Amino acid sequence: METVEHAQVEIARLSEELRRHQHHYYVEAQPLVSDTQYDRMMDRLLYLEGLYPELKLSDSPSQRVGSDLGTGFPEVRHTVPVLSLDKAYTGDGVLQWIERCRQRGEQRLSFVVEEKIDGVSLVLYYEKGLLARAVTRGNGFVGNDVTPNAKTIKSIPLRLSRPLDIAVRGEVFLPKEDFNTLNGTMEVPYANPRNLAAGTIRRLKSSETAMVPLKMFAYEASFTNPTEAVHSHVEILRLLKDLGFLVNPSLAVFADADGDGTYGDIPDYLGKLEQQRSTLAYEIDGLVIKVNELGVRDFLGYTGHHPRWALAYKFDAPEAQTEVLDIGVQVGRTGRITPVARVKTVKVGNSMVSNVTLHNQDYINLLELAIGDTVAISKRGDVIPAVERVVEKNEEGNTTWQLPAECPSCKTTLVRNGAHTFCPNGACPDQVVGRISFFVGRQQMDLDGFGPETVSFLVDKGLVHDIPDIYTVDYDALVGEPGFGEKKAGALAQAVEKSKEQPYRLVLVALGIPDFGKKAVDLLVNAGIRSMKQLLEMVDSGDAETLVAIKGFGKKTVDSLFAELSDAKVRERIARLILLGLQFSEAATDAEEMLPQIFRNQVWCVTGSFERFAPRSLALKEIEARGGRTTSSVTSKTSHLLAGSGAGSKLQQAQSFGTTIVDEQQFIRMLEGGESDDSR
Ligand SMILES: [Zn+2]
């Protein structure tokens, strides 16, 4: 039984806890507790405040539905408040809500069930069909204007197919696969895709937002002047699709066919979707059930907190508690040190977890994690398991775990760079194993037989110190060593020989240059830099400009490429691989070789619009097919600007640099005559 004294103490404690969690959740996008736990605390506080209104603190966190308001972004008032949804946690709860709607609605209703995407809510305001503002949910009444960042999200149309005044609600999210790839490169990694999406949408530089492949599903719309005849939610979704939005195709409509108040088997359907959850490409944390008929929605209206015509059916996040037995340290191929928690094996969702990455020291400090602590581990779908928080501190008095001062593999003193810690010794055995394992990996050179044990064996034996050594080992001489039959030795020798045929693009990826993966390699080669020789010449002459001008290339990629290729050890590695016969250039394709290479050694930029070259990429292809390089911006290295009608600032820049300016007619004559204009 509650006593006033107990309630007062608990209200004070809950208020303080919740205020702290709100800050971590909404402002820092790094929550310390699960949603379920947070909801429970908030529900408990609301209950106590309801019981003893006089005890409610004047600054109670329950007064905010929750806010993501942060500094750095202008605040904007929503034209229609963005309310949260009432929640149900069971199928029965959903059926009771349906019955309430039916009794109030007094007519045959249909219900739409949609996935509740675990992302970031955004409201997009369009004026005459143009995106005017993108505003976060904020506290529901006032949000932050993040328009420049939203504009980088490709599934958000900048212009609608019709000139409507319309407010569109959607959920911005990051697919699980992209999250797993990206999170490894983050300074301070995120526990889940939603937090990464939330952090990304609030970047101060929209160019940083643009690097993350966020998407948005649109799911609701309201009109300033109701010119469109829509009568149901399904019609709204159809309209959104017509206007150019990405609409989640996973949707079910339940109608009351017999007029007896039964709607097929909604609870069965909810259960089925919850089962399928882990197979989806993105995270969902529940389902949303809405009244389909818009007229009935108006009639049902709102409570003070939420619409009466919609309900969130929340899943419990798959989470389990276990004990941290030990914390180990892994040394990556770049020397990066990653602490990994070894935990008492536990089932989380559908999988058994015994190792969980802790990313870096900052992450551990944030959790205040020590060996022996009991922790909550989450694993959502295909996402890598994460320690969400410490549930109970250890009783042995262990304090927050600290990285060792020395590399566990080579005993070199570790150094810190940004949020991460590195072993600076390039000859460190663990790094060598990591570098070679990456090189031979399936996604890279794909050498059969070179599993982790084989690579470690070769390194431990002292036969291999760096990548090129795998090409010089006498594998036949190893026959008789544990695990080395004649067949195995033959297979290794053959795999090594075969890998010399692997194309330049793969070799370049396999070298494992930081921030320089398959996508960046494709951009580089497609821009006409087809050989290592060309690339090294650029590095040696300090020509970063040409690389930065390649569309899709960030400065970070270029810096990393320059740093790596300026390293004497890396240069030696490459020189040896060239001598060993690996592919370090890519020939132009047959079609290209048949064309006269009139633009060789030239750097072209294309701007404005054209009659014959629409889209503009057609002109870029013509240039590249004739040996020219193309860039997206004009720099002092740009030799030619192809200027179509409406050419703007690039034309002025080209004039200031003295770049040769070519119009469409001249360009066509150059292509047809096969002669280059060398009047520069
Ligand atoms: Zn080391």
Residue 356: per-residue pLDDT: 94
Residue that is written with structure tokens 């976060």 in the block? 136
Q: Which CATH code of 3.40.605.10, 3.50.50.60, 3.30.70.3270, 2.40.50.140 fits the domain covering 319-422?
A: 2.40.50.140
How do residues 403-445 score in pLDDT, each as one tens digit? Answer: 999 999 999 999 998 888 999 998 999 999 999 999 999 889 9
Residue from 352, 355, 320 nearest 339 by CA:
355
Regarding beta strands 130-136 and 120-127, do their DSSP bridges make them parallel or antiparallel, or are they unpaired?
antiparallel
Between CA 545 and CA 633 the distance in angstroms is: 10
Regarding beta strands 310-314 and 86-88, do their DSSP bridges make them parallel or antiparallel, or are they unpaired?
parallel
Q: What is the CATH number of domain 504-579?
A: 1.10.150
Name the band, by pLDDT with cuts 50, 70 and 90, for residue 29. low
Name the band, by pLDDT with cuts 50, 70 and 90, for residue 172. very high
CB atoms within 10 A of CB 107: 11
Q: Which CATH code of 1.10.260.40, 3.40.50.970, 1.10.287.610, 3.40.50.300 fits the domain covering 4-63?
A: 1.10.287.610
Superfamily of domain covering 429-501? 5' to 3' exonuclease, C-terminal subdomain (1.10.150.20)
CATH class of 590-673: alpha beta
Q: Do the two domains 429-501 and 590-673 of this chain adopt the same fold?
A: no
Angstrom CA distances, 638 to 191, 556, 633, stand at 44, 21, 8
> From the CA of 468, how far away is ligand 1's center (Å)?
20
Residue 228: per-residue pLDDT: 67
Model confidence at 277: pLDDT above 70: yes
- Fill in the DSSP letter of residue 26: I
Between CA 532 and CA 540 the distance in angstroms is: 12
> From the CA of 679, how far away is ligand 1's center (Å)?
56
Between CA 456 and CA 444 the distance in angstroms is: 18
Residue from 419, 418, 421, 420 nearest 406 by CA:
421
How do residues 470-523 score in pLDDT, each as one tens digit? Answer: 999 999 999 999 888 999 999 999 999 999 999 999 999 999 998 888 888 988
Residue 38: per-residue pLDDT: 79
How do residues 109-156 score in pLDDT, each as one tens digit? Answer: 899 999 999 999 999 999 999 999 999 987 778 888 999 899 888 899
Model confidence at 68: pLDDT above 50: no
- Give just the sign of the alpha carbon dihedral 473, 478, 482, 488: positive
Average pLDDT, the chain: 86
Regarding beta strands 640-643 and 603-607, do their DSSP bridges make them parallel or antiparallel, or are they unpaired?
parallel
Residue that is written with structure tokens 């941290």 in the block? 324
First to last CA, the chain: 90
Name the band, by pLDDT with cuts 50, 70 and 90, for residue 317. low
Domain segments of the chain as ranges: 4-63, 83-314, 319-422, 429-501, 504-579, 590-673
Fold that domain 83-314 belongs to in CATH: D-amino Acid Aminotransferase; Chain A, domain 1 (3.30.470)
Token output for 616: 């503009």
Residue 680: per-residue pLDDT: 40
Cis status, amide bond into 615, omega within 30 of 0 = yes
| 381, 283 contact by CB (below 8 A) | yes
Backbone angles phi, psi at 523, to 5 degrees: -60, -45
β-pair partners for 343? 324
Q: Which of 62-66, 378-382, 447-451, 554-558 has the highest mean pLDDT?
A: 447-451
> From the CA of 329, how far away is ligand 1's center (Å)?
11
How do residues 328-353 score in pLDDT, each as one tens digit? Answer: 999 999 999 999 999 999 988 777 89
Name the band, by pLDDT with cuts 50, 70 and 90, for residue 382. low
Burial of 502 (0-12, 13-18, 19+ CB in 10 A): middle
Residue that is written with structure tokens 């989470």 in the block? 319
Determine which of 467-471, 532-536, 648-652 has the lowest per-residue pLDDT on average: 648-652
Token output for 300: 């049902």
Entry pTM: 0.56
> From the CA of 423, how far away is ligand 1's center (Å)?
5
Residue that is written with structure tokens 């150059």 in the block? 670
Residue 65: per-residue pLDDT: 43
Name the band, by pLDDT with cuts 50, 70 and 90, for residue 596. confident
- Known catalytic residues? 116
> From the CA of 330, how far away is ligand 1's center (Å)?
10
- Fill in the DSSP letter of residue 398: P
467 vs 267, higher pLDDT: 467
Between CA 590 and CA 332 the distance in angstroms is: 40
Between CA 447 and CA 165 the distance in angstroms is: 57
Q: Which of 87-101, 286-300, 456-470, 589-603 has the highest mean pLDDT?
A: 456-470
> From the CA of 425, how far away is ligand 1's center (Å)?
6
Residue from 475, 464, 412 nearest 435 by CA:
464
Token output for 203: 């970047």
Determine which of 201-205, 570-574, 593-597 has the lowest per-residue pLDDT on average: 593-597
> From the CA of 426, how far away is ligand 1's center (Å)?
8
List of long-range contacts for 69-72, beta carbons under 8 Å, 24+ apart: 69/26, 69/27, 69/136, 69/138, 69/139, 69/142, 69/143, 69/144, 70/26, 70/27, 70/144, 70/202, 72/202, 72/204
CA dihedral 410, 411, 417, 421 (to 10 degrees): 80
